[in-house]
Amino acid sequence: MTPETENDRNLFRNLTKATVLLLIALIMGGWILGSSRFAAGIACGGILTMANTFWLKLCIQRAMGLEPRQAGRFAFVRYLLRLAFLAGLLYLLIVKIGINIIGLIIGLSVLVFVIIGFSLYRAAHNGG
């Protein structure tokens, strides 16, 4: 097991900060330009995305400390649990609560937008 480097911690911390900032901006923009229901959809999607990311990080860290055979099984089971839990939450949000689906999709995509932005920034500043 290799220890987490300072650059890895900074990258995850910077991704988290950028995701939170973009999420806040999108929620405010959705509330001002759309509706409170639209902003709530963005907020729910963003919160789910961030929670999923932190859960994934914790699972990977725990799996790295296990024997290879156990790690694969552990990661697979946690993956299925995460997927089922998120599917259940999305079902409740869409069907039972009636959250705005477009806002939810935008919120779920926040981390993807941030990763694309970081990648473009690094490509532009490091020469590809």
More confident residue, 10 or 40: 40
- The pTM of this model reads 0.84
Eight-state DSSP code of residue 66 = S
**Nearest 5°: phi and psi at 6?**
-65, -35
d(CA 124, CA 126): 6
d(CA 1, CA 104): 37
d(CA 68, CA 64): 8
CA angle (65, 86, 1) in 5-degree steps? 10
Eight-state DSSP code of residue 5 = P
pLDDT band of 94, cuts 50, 70, 90: very high
**Is pLDDT of 78 > 80?**
yes
Q: In this structure, are residues 106 and 33 in contact, taking their beta carbons and an 8 Å threshold?
A: no
Ranking 16-30, 39-53, 69-83, 85-99 by mean pLDDT, the lowest is 69-83
List strand residue ranges (DSSP E) for the chain, in order: none
